[in-house]
Structure 1
Amino acid sequence: MKKYDYLIVGSGLYGAIFAHEAKKRDKKCLIIDKRSHIGGNIYCENIEGINVHKYGAHIFHTSNKKIWDYVNSLVEFNRYTNSPVANYRGNLYNLPFNMNTFYQLWKVKTPAEAKAIIDQQVADAGIVNPQNLEEQALSLVGTDIYNTLIKEYTEKQWGRKATELPSFIIKRLPIRFTFDNNYFNDQYQGIPIGGYTKLIEVLLEDIEVKTGVNYFDNRNEWNELADQVIYTGMIDEYYDYKHGVLEYRSLKFEHTVLETPNYQGNAVVNYIDSEIPYTRIIEHKHFEFGEQKNTVITKEYPLEWTKKDEPYYPVNDTKNDLLFKKYKDMARLEEDVIFGGRLADYKYYDMHHVVGLALKKVEELFPDYRNQTMQIP
């Protein structure tokens, strides 16, 4: 009999929720994480009394009441609403595209005026079958919105010309003919009061965790400790890149403490133009309506990913999706390893997706306990 029922590789949201639920079912878990802290990319560090999102802004949003109730049963969430602002060559525009944006662009004051301009620009573009991201965007929103708020930001984010990016990256672009700056359409939205690390700490209470441990340094020894492995890392790394390396975009974060109570007046400001190397500045205190005397900002710089970098955005083009399928086929044959989370699934998930997937896996593995948790549709 092995010491643990489950070895969980990674202490992010997927691994932490699985461990929490498994423990409630009297299963013994060990979590290991290569980073020096728990929480994966949602880890928050307290700096100057401010919960700093160390790996980029994370705003929890969902329309699934069961998922919202689940996370709120662990910690209390605040009422933060994501309303980012875009800075293009010194001019500010509201996001997502709404009547405030259209007034800033064209000084129009009615939905009919705005719609007429967009419809005319889309017609003038004359694109019926978009072949790339640029054509897709032009066919949806026309030239002014594309050139002002999409083109340079997208090329900076992906490190490629918009004409070289596949059209599916922008499947649709939300256009609102109302004065509504709420970025998300979901019914529920907020930030854990006290930061996301508090959420992970509650999930991992009384569960053994080892940080600063790289699974691949001694994977056979770690595997021997448990009946099953829950693996939340990169699926191609698990198989030693047997079929090739899956591609990602990465990020570099530059955190700065400023001796001012309010730097930009908003949690998220995107910097569109290509001359500015970073894509956005995050001012963390605004996530929790902080009134500290100082502030902390983070500049996000997009990077081409290498094996030395953290993977953030999967490049889900045809080549990479076909490569991932080869690894997924291998993973299906594993009897003692369960793959879960965005890196193992090679898919960009929002946090509520990860919560739902972790809970579904729990219900699948422990059907007799289905009524003790929640059923995710």
Structure 2
Amino acid sequence: MRKYTYDYLIVGSGLFGSTFAQIMNGNGKKCLVIDKRGHTGGNIYTKEENDIKIHWYGAHIFHTDNEEVWHYINKFTKFNNYINSPLAYSEGKLYNLPFNMNTFNKLWNVNTPEEAKHKIQEQCSKYKDISQPANLEEQALKLCGDDIYYTFIKEYTEKQWGRPANQLPASIIKRIPFRLTYNNNYFNDPYQGIPKDGYTALTNNLLKDIHVQTYTNYFDNIPYFQSIAEKILFTGCIDEYFEYKFGRLDYRSLKFKHIYLDTDNYQGNAVINYNEAKYPFTRIIEHKHFEFGKQPSTIITKEYPQKYTPSDEPYYPINDEKNLKCFNKYKALAEKNSHVIFGGRLGQYAYFDMDDTIASAISLTQKELSI
């Protein structure tokens, strides 16, 4: 007689949970996926309005150099050939990102890679005596000098993290990539694009033939959910699962303001960053440009970083020494509990790109199936 109704209860229908559920279901494991939101897909959810697919929780551009991940995800969606080429707005001018020859030409009026290289070296030279940067500001200045730091990095970073740059750990900026070519492709990965039918269709395809319950919060009935499955995959906040036994982990949150405009083209690009502190938002997204849209109207989203409170959605883990020490206590506790496994950015307290999320979920399924 079967002791449990399900082999796996999967808490959270984001990309990690959906990938895990799809693979385990394909291997004969009975899964139930629950999500407290009213939709599947987690933060990659896209909502279609006015024939435009809105990235409801911020821009998501799929990119990878992992052939296994690319082959896997293409079973469930087809990608367009969108190339991410964001812009940065500062003091009335638009600059290309990542930092490349187009950026340097506009910033310094240099034309050749040699001129740009010389200018970068000249800018960095005044900080050559900083051997061990004590904070993000010192690290960035040592890597790029004054012009790039003060034009593009300082105020944007302070908005994003809600702290002065000289109070942020140097580890946030390990390196600053400079490209001495006139190439505006933000990613170096060979595979890149947006799902042609949107991310919601992708997660729906992953969850096909799997029992899914939305508007269902695990914490509303913990004893029941623990009783119906042999194992739980939990993709929510690991500290919440353990009732904040060692204290709360810190995050940054985001607020999104979606605006419908009666114009066919608002900014001419999918993503424009606003680097200056006088703008409370970090970027404006115009969704139709992800899909080369020709609709007569448009929809933009302004993205506002904000302090995280328990009533907000956590987006970015703050991986400083204090939080990592706290997380490691939760991780050790989790490893003693054979009934639950943790995955995803909240369960693992890490910010993953989408391809890393899928790769991690695939790896976990392989581990579970080998037991």
Fold conserved between structures, TM > 0.5: yes
Partner of 1:115: 117
Aligned equivalent of 1:18: 20
* Equivalences for residues 20-39 of structure 1 within 5 A: 20-39=22-41
Give the counterpart of 1:359 among 347, 362, 367.
362
Give ranges in structure 2 of 5+ residues lacking alignment.
none
Deviation readout 1:194-241 (Å, 9 max, x if unpaired):
110010010011111111111011111111111110100000000011
2:343 to 340, 343, 357: 340
CA deviation profile, 1:54-80 (whole Å, cap 9, x unmatched): 000001111111111111121101111
CA-CA distance at 1:4 after TM superposition: 0.9
How big is the shift at 1:187?
1.4
Task: Please point out which of 60, 67, 70 is paired with 2:69.
Answer: 67
Q: Which residue of 2 aligns with 1:169?
A: 172
Residue in structure 1 matched with residue 59 of structure 2 by the alignment = 57
Partner of 1:270, secondary structure, is: strand
3-state secondary structure, aligned to 1:200: helix
Aligned residue number for residue 375 of structure 1: none
Q: Deviations over 1:327-356 (max 9, x none)?
A: 000000011111111100000000000100
**Aligned residue type for 1:118:** I
Give % identity: 57
CA distance in 1, matches of 2:221, 2:112: 64
Q: TM-score, normalised by structure 1?
A: 0.96
In the alignment, the residues of structure 2 paired with residue 47 and residue 90 of structure 1 have an alpha-carbon distance, to the nearest angstrom, of 31
Residues 89-168 of structure 1 aligned to structure 2 (within 5 Å): 89-126=91-128, 127-168=130-171
Determine the C-alpha separation between the residues in 1 that align with 2:307 and 2:360: 28
Counterpart CA distance in 2 for 1:336 and 1:291 is 50
Deviations 1:277-329 (A, max 9, x none): 00000000111111111111000000010101000000000000000000000
Give the partner amino acid of 2:32. L
Query: Could you tell me which amino acid in structure 2 is paired with residue 58 of structure 1?
Result: H
* Aligned-pair CA distance for 1:88: 0.6
Q: How many aligned positions are there?
A: 368
Partner residue of 1:325 out of 328, 342, 356: 328
Match of 2:88 in 1: 86
SS in structure 2 at match of 1:125:
coil
Question: 2:294 aligned with 1:291, yes or no?
Answer: yes
CA distance in 1, matches of 2:188, 2:324: 28
Alpha-carbon distance, 1:367 to partner: 3.3
Q: Which amino acid aligns with 2:163?
A: R
Indicate whether 1:183 and 2:178 are aligned. Answer: no
Residue 244 of structure 2 aligns to a residue in which SS?
coil
CA distance in 2, matches of 1:206, 1:188: 28
Cα separation, 2, equivalents of 1:288 and 1:20: 27
Q: Select which of 222, 227, 243 maps to 1:224.
A: 227
Give the Cα–Cα distance (whole angstroms) in 1 for the partners of residues 291 and 255 of structure 2: 24
Q: What's the TM-score, normalizing by structure 2? A: 0.98
Indicate the residue corresponding to 2:213 in structure 1.
210
1:304 maps to 2:341: no
In the TM superposition, residue 181 of structure 1 has moved relative to its aligned partner by: 0.7
Runs of 4+ off more than 2 Å: 125-128
Measured in 2, the distance between the counterparts of 1:93 and 1:120 equals 21
